[in-house]
Amino acid sequence: MLPRDQESLSYTAFSVALLDPEQPIPSVVAGPEGKASAKRYSVYRNNVTAGLIEALAEVYPAVQRLTGVEFFRAMARFHIRAMPPTSPLLFEYGRDLPAFIESYEYAQGLPWLADVARIERAWLDAYHAADVVPLSAEALVAISPDRLADTMFVVHPATRIVRSRFAAVTIFAANRNEGAGGQIDAGTPEDALITRPIDDVVVRHLPQGGAVFFQSLISGQSLGEAAALALESSASFDIATNIAGMIQAGVFTAVTRGAV
Amino acid sequence: MSAPVLSGLLQDEPPRFPAFQVCGLAGTSFKHEHLAAILHEGRQRGFFEVHAENYMGSGGPPHRALEAIRCRRPLSIHGVCMSIGGPGPLDKAHLARFRSLVERYEPALVSEHLAWSTHKTTYFNDLLPMPYTEATLDRVCDHINQVQDAIWRPLLLENPSTYLAFRDSTMRETDFIRRVTERTGCGLLLDINNVFVSATNHGFSALEYLSEFPLARVGEIHLAGHAEQADDEGDRLLIDSHDGPVADAVWQLYEIVVARCGPIPTLVEWDSKIPRWPVLKAEAAAAQVILDRHHQDVHDAAA
C-alpha cells in the first residue's frame, strides 16, 4: 500500500498550491536537468485561476459589465479560492456567487448586484434546461370552465422566478449586452420570469402579483388558489393578462387536473 | 420556428444520424459562433470536434447546434475532464453523462486525456501532469477500462503537454503510453503540438519522442497553436494555448508523421481568441492538402 499512499501525496502536494498563492512551489515536481520550477508551476496556477475567472465571467456577463472587469476579476478570484468548483461542468459553477456578492465587502455599494447575478444564473439554467414543448393555448381552452379553478400545472424545466427589492430586471436588461444604459431608478422592486419557450431564453418583468401567482402554481397550488393569493398580495393583479403571458412565455408544460 | 418543426426536434426518440467515415479527413474544433457560416456553405469535406462537457446540459441550443452539425459531418467527441490520470476513482455521474453523449450522437471518434483535473472534491479546470509509475499505470489502465466498458468502444487517449515533471516518475511518457495501449487496447490521439511543446519545455527531441511513440495505435492527430513565455532561467517555455495558427515546426512534424503513418484523421484545435470561420477553415484545408498527398501515396504504392 505504501507506493499508492506516497503517490497520492504527490498529487495532494501538487494541488494544494494551485489555488493558494501563499503556498510554496511543490517540491514533488521539477524542471528538466535541475532547472527551477517556479515559473513552470505558475503556468498551472494561472491556467486554473484565469480559467475559472473566465468561467464565472461567462455565467455573469452583466455583473462584470456593471462592476467593471478589474472589480469583477478581483471578486471572482476571492470567490474561486473560497468556493472552487466541485463539478467538471463549468456551466454549473458559480451558484454561490449571488450570496457571495451580498457578503462581499466591496460590493456593499451595489445592493442590487446579487439579484442581477441571480437573474443571470437563472438565464443559464434555462438555456441548458431539458427540451419540453410548452403548454399550448388550445390545451388551456379545452378545460371546461367549471374545472378551471381546480386546474394545476406542470412547470417547464426552464422556468425560474427571481424576486428583487431592486430594479434588477431593468438593470439586467440594460447591461446584458453592449449598448447605452440610461438612468435607472434602482429602488423600484421588480420580479423576473425566466423561460425558454423554444430555443431563446426570455427574461420578462412580471406585473404586480405575477410572481406570487406563478410561484403558487409552481409549488402545486391550483389556479383558483394561486389567483386568490396573487390578488391578496396585489390588488391590481389581473388574471387574464397573467394567463396570456404564461402561455406566451411557456411557463408550464401540461395541466394535471381539470383538463379531463 | 413553426410548431411542426419544433415537435420534430423535441421527439422522445433521439434522432439517428448518418454513419459518416472520418478516414483521411481534416477537421476543426466546432464553435457556436461559426454555426451559421458552416450551415451556409453547404456540403463540404471535413469533420468537427467538440468538448464533451459543453454538451452535458439537458437540452437547449447547444444540442440543437450539435444535431445540426452531426447531421452534416462526421463528429469527434473529445472529453476534457474525466481525470483519467487522477488519484481518485472516476466520477460515476460524469462517466454516465459521457456514455449518454456518445450514445446520443454516435460520433466517429471518442477521446480523452492522459491527465487529471479533479483531486478530492475540487475540479481544477486544467489538464494537470501526472507521475509515471507502476501504481499510476495500474490506475490509468483501470480508469480507461471503465470508460471503454461504458461506451462500448475503444477510447483514443491523448498525450499531454507539460511544463514540469514529477520527481517520483520511474518511466518515460512514451513507455507509459505504450504499456497503457497494450494493457487496455485503447487507441491514441497523437497531439503533435503537445509533443513539440513538451519537447521544448523538457529539452528532449520531438523526433525521438515520435520514434518511441506507438504510432500504429494512433486513430487521430491534433494540431494547434501555442504561445511562448520564458522559464526561470530565461529559456523558451511553450504554452499549449490553442489561441493561434499551427506553428511551422509543428507542420513539419506533422508531415513526417503522415508520411510514415498515412492519412490519419487530423483535427486543428482553436479554443481561445477564436478567429472568423474562414481562418480556422484554412488551417484545416492546409492539413487536408497534406493528408490527400499521402492518401495518393498509399494508393500509388498499392497499384
> pLDDT tens across A4-57, in order?
567 788 999 999 999 998 999 999 999 999 899 999 999 999 999 999 999 999
CB pair distance less than 8 Å for A88 and B233: no
B202, three cell numbers: 523538457
B217 to chain A, closest Cα gap in Å? 28
Q: Which chain A residues have a beta carbon less than 8 Å from that of B133? A: 3, 7
Inform me whether the C-beta atom of residue A81 falls under 8 Å from chain B C-beta atoms: no
Cβ–Cβ contact A2 with B under 8 A: no
The predicted complex's ipTM stands at 0.91
Facing residue for A133 by CB, picked from B10, B83, B232: B10
pLDDT at A179: 67
Fold (CATH) for B19-302: TIM Barrel (3.20.20)
Kindly state the cell numbers that stand for B9: 426536434
Provide the 10 A C-beta neighbour count for residue B93. 12
Cell numbers 426518440: residue: B13
Region of B262 please: left (phi>0), alpha (psi -120 to 50) or beta. left
Tell me the whole-structure pTM to 2 decimals.
0.92
Query: Nearest CA to CA, how far is B261 from chain A (Å)?
Result: 30
- Judged by phi (left if over 0) then psi (alpha if -120 to 50, else beta), residue A257 lies in beta
A36 CB within 8 Å of a chain B CB: yes
Q: What is residue B302's predicted lDDT score, i.e. its pLDDT?
A: 58
CB distance A199–B168 less than 8 Å? no
pLDDT of residue B30: 98
Query: How do residues B194-229 score in pLDDT, each as one tens digit?
Result: 999 999 999 999 999 999 999 999 999 999 999 999
Q: Which of A216, A245, A242, A217 is nearest to A153 (CA)?
A: A217
Q: Work out the minimum CA distance from A243 to partner chain B, whole angstroms.
A: 20
Give the number of residues written for chain A: 260
C-alpha cell read off for B209 = 519522442
Is residue A134 scored above 80 in pLDDT? yes
Please judge whether A198 and B1 are an interchain contact, meaning their C-beta atoms are less than 8 angstroms apart.
yes
Best probe of the A interface among B126, B228, B229, B274, by most A CBs < 10 A, is B126
User: Å from B10 to nearest chain A CA?
Assistant: 6
Q: Cβ of B135 and A52 within 8 Å?
A: no
Tell me if A18 and B124 make a contact (CB, 8 A cut-off): yes
Determine the pLDDT at residue A184: 84
Mean pLDDT, rounded, for A209-238: 97
Among A42, A46, A131, A201, pick the best mutation site for testing chain B contact (most B Cβ within 10 A). A131
Q: Across the interface, do B91 and A133 touch by the CB < 8 Å criterion?
A: no
Q: Which amino acid is located at B205 in the chain?
A: S
Report how far residue A123's alpha carbon sits from residue A64's, in angstroms, rounded to the nearest whole number: 15
pLDDT band at A183 (very low <50, low <70, confident <90, very high): confident
Q: What is the predicted pLDDT for the residue at B2?
A: 39
d(CA A219, CA A227): 13
**CA atoms of B194 and A235, how far apart (whole Å):** 66
The whole-angstrom separation of Cα B88 and Cα B90 is 7
pLDDT band with cut points at 50, 70 and 90 for residue A1: very low
CB B46 within 8 A of CB B26: yes
Question: How far is B24 from chain A, CA to nearest CA, in Å?
Answer: 32
Using CA atoms, how far apart are residues B78 and B49, in angstroms rounded to an integer? Answer: 7
For residue B116, the chain A residue with the least C-alpha distance is: A11
Closest CA–CA distance from residue B149 to any residue of chain A (Å):
21
Pairwise CA distance, residues B18 & B20, whole Å: 6
Round to the nearest angstrom and report the end-to-end CA distance of chain A: 65
Is the Cβ pair B167, A28 closer than 8 Å?
Answer: yes
Q: How far does the CA of residue A210 sit from the closest CA of chain B (Å)?
A: 26
CA distance A219 to B21: 50
Is the CB of A128 less than 8 angstroms away from the CB of B232? no
Question: B187 phi and psi, to 5 degrees?
Answer: -90, -175
Low-confidence ranges of chain B (pLDDT < 50): 1-8
Element (H, E) at A257: strand A252-257
B124 interaction partners in chain A (CB closer than 8 Å): 15, 18-19, 48, 84
For chain A, the structural domain boundaries read 1-96, 111-260
Which spans in B76-121 are helix H?
Answer: 92-105
Q: Does A43 touch chain B (CB under 8 A)?
A: yes
Asked if A17 is an interface residue toward chain B (Cβ–Cβ < 8 A), one would say: no
Grid cell at residue A236? 391590481
Closest residue on chain B to A26 (Cα): B166
Scanning every residue of chain A, which has its alpha carbon at the shortest distance from the alpha carbon of B4? A133
Q: Residues 144-183, chain A: which have Cβ within 8 Å of B?
A: 157-158
Q: Chains A, B: CB contacts under 8 A, how many?
A: 159
Shortest CA gap A219–chain B (Å): 22
Instruction: Tell which residue, A172, A247, A260, has the closest CA to residue A217.
Output: A247
Report residue B179 as a C-alpha cell: 504499456
